[in-house]
Chains A and B, each alone.
Chain A
């Protein structure tokens, strides 16, 4: 049976916000964790990189201090940028489709929500690492439960689409924010190492990277890994594969495969990531290419909305007969 448009929309957003909560927790965790290793100037710069990676334009009066930043990114529900905010929205979306997701999925998401919602900065300060770990772990658990309890119907594909559309944009933004740092830090070998380490860890990519390349971190190779690698789950290319697969499955299930512009866009994104060379991308301006990734993701996002969620009823009525 076909899926309600509203339901597809909720599943998509549930998944996007959960991914966003997890991404925020990971970036914040890495930044806090590396404070002792960095010089005061590098720490100050790391806050700006963190905020830029998350596409956040913070209020002017936000002190660049660990506790304040943590409170802002973890608990400030009004800002729209915090983990609590993302978890609340994810759970609110899930609540509207409770009959569609498995009870196990709902219980895990609800538990995670209750955990983050009932604590605050005073309670976790001093153990922020544990708190952020529990958020990441809880989100991973949810994704695992989803994998093992939900049938591979349309709903599952909308969940995949939400997760990987969010991830592609997040990793592209993260890389973009680190380009500045790299230019500044070229002359300092030790500092550069730390920045690249932080970048990789922000995508749980350090260990995977070392297996593919070596522990000697090079920006070009890190960028190649996070952008073009087609087997690592946090790379943009991997995300693009999943987006395309989800869009194709949805098109098949809704009988909308022919001339589907969404599949074209996903194919274009995938082709760029499959066939471009990292040295050419860098020579041609990496930022410009990262922008292209973001633009194509945004087009896919709005295209999904126009095609499956908020389509014109008049068009569909004429085809009913």
Chain B
């Protein structure tokens, strides 16, 4: 019954300015959009410092759980927590249904494309995708020609990067079809969020993502070699020094499967075994978080100590499933990316539901000339890289950097593409004790097995440096929980 002095609530949004970018939070009248209203009211009702207190609690929880990634800035390699932003990003049910349909369509087409180019190559013969583009892709694996994979699923686990642009549309920025990571942060963020904003979470009607581990296990089991009833499934990690090691242990625990390293496995008579205390045990499905190059020193890089000699032959013989399949990187090549809308049309006879970002192929002389004249406005990316490496962001670059890229492009035009600099959408983030606008993207995770499963939402990555457009964790990025609302509650 105490009467609290009525103090005008501090202006939470004093420092919030999304600039010209699409604002996820405020509408045109600088009022919170409908689906952010309740959260905004709740934030206003909190005492000053309460957000800081909850942020500290969340950070400590990440540190104690060892939810960290390794930074190789000094020789020891230190562990840091992946920066976590307290405020959830909210997506409405109807916005999500477009994304969901778009991703299903895209993954269906990309799996058909991979099967085609490693078999008859109809899409190449029909000249929808240039044949030289595919064969010159750094991640094209000629060893995969004629190899059949269970259910024709090459990409069992995909993480597609989406960005939201000025008009509010979601565009596909890139596909990650090799060994995409980040899903453990999606799950850990949700776990922490439920502790930090329990009431809000219940009130909002957020679609659950908890069953991801089960869905992944089911997907992997559905891809087991045909003759195996009760497959032995393992997760292959490069080991404790890999920056995503936390995620590997996390997923293995969620699925209750062994986490193995290359040295735990051996191949005998084209079958894969793992060394256990009770002797050797057959392995049927390998969810591998090791790149193609390091899988098998007999076929790929001979200096690899992470892999298993003979693994590829066992795979080609159909005695073990690798997920993802070998050679999927050709389909997330950034130059092949430009053809994905055409690929979708070719196999499915549909228009792409999620559009691509406009992309210049530098093998085309006219496009190359245009790009070289406008380097200061464009983003240039190497076709086979991910994680924000070997990349030029024109507006934030120096003349020297632009000159370097000009030379690299001219030396090897096939190796680069250019795109306009996108203004990624902004969302409120809790930074240095106040609410500020930061650029974000979205990486949903798509599982393909007997059926396609997509966890509602995904990992929202945040460029935590003011004004920065780079969301990669290796370059100052963080993440936040992503809420997809059930349709009825909106």
Q: Which residues of A contact B (CB under 8 A)?
A: 1-8, 92, 95-99, 103, 106-107, 110-111, 114, 154, 250, 253-256, 308-309, 313, 316-317, 319-320
Q: Is the CB of B249 within 8 A of A2?
A: no
Residues 241-272 of chain B, each 1 if its beta carbon lies under 8 Å from chain A, else 0 = 00001100110110000111101101010000
Q: Shortest CB–CB separation between residue B71 and chain A, in angstroms?
A: 16
A95-B66, A317-B268 known; A5-B240 Cβ under 8 A: no
Q: Shortest CB–CB separation between residue B114 and chain A, in angstroms?
A: 30
For B232, what are the chain A residues with a Cβ–Cβ distance below 8 Å?
1
Pick 25 A–B contacts, CB within 8 A, sort by A. Answer: A2-B281, A4-B260, A4-B274, A4-B275, A5-B264, A5-B275, A5-B276, A5-B277, A6-B275, A95-B66, A96-B239, A98-B66, A98-B249, A106-B65, A107-B66, A110-B64, A110-B66, A154-B277, A254-B277, A255-B278, A313-B275, A317-B268, A317-B280, A320-B268, A320-B280
For B253, what are the chain A residues with a Cβ–Cβ distance below 8 Å?
98-99, 103
For A2, what are the chain B residues with a Cβ–Cβ distance below 8 Å?
276-279, 281
Whose C-beta in chain A lies nearest to the C-beta of B60? A111
In the bound complex, how far is the Cα of B64 from the Cα of A111, in angstroms? 6
A92-B240, A99-B249, A99-B259 known; A316-B63 Cβ under 8 A: no
For B280, what are the chain A residues with a Cβ–Cβ distance below 8 Å?
313, 316-317, 320
For A110, what are the chain B residues with a Cβ–Cβ distance below 8 Å?
64-66
Q: Is the CB of B264 within 8 A of A96?
A: no
Q: Shortest CB–CB separation between residue A153 and chain B, in angstroms?
A: 11
Most buried by A among B63, B249, B277, B280: B277
In the bound complex, how far is the Cα of B257 from the Cα of A7, in angstroms? 13
Q: Is the CB of A6 within 8 A of B278?
A: no
Q: Shortest CB–CB separation between residue A266 and chain B, in angstroms?
A: 17
A92-B240, A256-B278 known; A6-B66 Cβ under 8 A: no
For A107, what are the chain B residues with a Cβ–Cβ distance below 8 Å?
64-66
For A256, what are the chain B residues with a Cβ–Cβ distance below 8 Å?
278
In the complex, the 5 A-B pairs of residues with the closest C-beta atoms, listed nearest first: A2-B276, A98-B249, A99-B252, A254-B278, A2-B278
In the bound complex, how far is the Cα of B119 from the Cα of A32, in angstroms? 75
Residues 225-243 of chain B, each 1 if its beta carbon lies under 8 Å from chain A, else 0 = 0000000100000011000
Q: Is the CB of A114 within 8 A of B63?
A: yes
- Per DSSP, are chain A's interface residues mostly helix, strand or loop, or mixed? helix
Q: Which residues of B contact A (CB under 8 A)?
A: 63-66, 232, 239-240, 245-246, 249-250, 252-253, 258-261, 263-264, 266, 268, 274-281
For A103, what are the chain B residues with a Cβ–Cβ distance below 8 Å?
65, 253
Whose C-beta in chain B lies nearest to the C-beta of A95? B240
- Per DSSP, are chain B's interface residues mostly helix, strand or loop, or mixed? mixed
A92-B240, A103-B65, A114-B63 known; A4-B278 Cβ under 8 A: no
Whose C-beta in chain A lies nearest to the C-beta of B252? A99
Q: Is the CB of B65 within 8 A of A316?
A: no
Q: Is the CB of A106 within 8 A of B260?
A: no
Q: Shortest CB–CB separation between residue B13 and chain A, in angstroms?
A: 37
For A8, what are the chain B residues with a Cβ–Cβ distance below 8 Å?
277
For A1, what are the chain B residues with a Cβ–Cβ distance below 8 Å?
232, 258, 281
Whose C-beta in chain A lies nearest to the C-beta of B260? A4
Q: Shortest CB–CB separation between residue B61 and chain A, in angstroms?
A: 9
For A309, what are the chain B residues with a Cβ–Cβ distance below 8 Å?
277
Most buried by A among B66, B249, B263, B264: B66
Q: Shortest CB–CB separation between residue B164 and chain A, in angstroms?
A: 35
In the bound complex, how far is the Cα of B274 from the Cα of A250, in angstroms? 18
In the bound complex, how far is the Cα of B65 from the Cα of A151, in angstroms? 20
Most buried by A among B253, B268, B279: B279
Q: Shortest CB–CB separation between residue B213 and chain A, in angstroms?
A: 11
Most buried by B among A98, A256, A313: A98
Whose C-beta in chain A lies nearest to the C-beta of B276? A2
For B246, what are the chain A residues with a Cβ–Cβ distance below 8 Å?
98
For B277, what are the chain A residues with a Cβ–Cβ distance below 8 Å?
2-5, 8, 154, 250, 253-254, 308-309
Whose C-beta in chain B lies nearest to the C-beta of A6? B264
In the bound complex, how far is the Cα of B249 from the Cα of A316, in angstroms? 28
Whose C-beta in chain B lies nearest to the C-beta of A319? B279
In the bound complex, how far is the Cα of B252 from the Cα of A111, in angstroms? 22
In the bound complex, how far is the Cα of B63 from the Cα of A231, in angstroms? 39
Q: Shortest CB–CB separation between residue B253 and chain A, in angstroms?
A: 4
Whose C-beta in chain A lies nearest to the C-beta of B254? A99
For B261, what are the chain A residues with a Cβ–Cβ distance below 8 Å?
6
For B245, what are the chain A residues with a Cβ–Cβ distance below 8 Å?
95
For A6, what are the chain B residues with a Cβ–Cβ distance below 8 Å?
261, 263-264, 275
For B259, what are the chain A residues with a Cβ–Cβ distance below 8 Å?
97-99
In the bound complex, how far is the Cα of B64 from the Cα of A255, in angstroms? 38
For A7, what are the chain B residues with a Cβ–Cβ distance below 8 Å?
258
In the bound complex, how far is the Cα of B280 from the Cα of A256, in angstroms? 14
Q: Is the CB of A106 within 8 A of B66?
A: yes
In the bound complex, how far is the Cα of B249 from the Cα of A154, in angstroms? 19
In the bound complex, how far is the Cα of B245 from the Cα of A23, in angstroms? 31
Q: Is the CB of A253 within 8 A of B240?
A: no
A99-B249, A99-B253 known; A3-B276 Cβ under 8 A: yes
In the bound complex, how far is the Cα of B232 from the Cα of A106, in angstroms? 26
Whose C-beta in chain A lies nearest to the C-beta of B263? A6
For A97, what are the chain B residues with a Cβ–Cβ distance below 8 Å?
259
In the bound complex, how far is the Cα of B232 from the Cα of A152, in angstroms? 22
Q: Is the CB of B264 within 8 A of A4?
A: yes
In the bound complex, how far is the Cα of B258 from the Cα of A5, in angstroms? 11
Q: Shortest CB–CB separation between residue B251 and chain A, in angstroms?
A: 8
Whose C-beta in chain A lies nearest to the C-beta of B280? A316
Q: Shortest CB–CB separation between residue A196 and chain B, in angstroms?
A: 41
Whose C-beta in chain B lies nearest to the C-beta of A106? B66
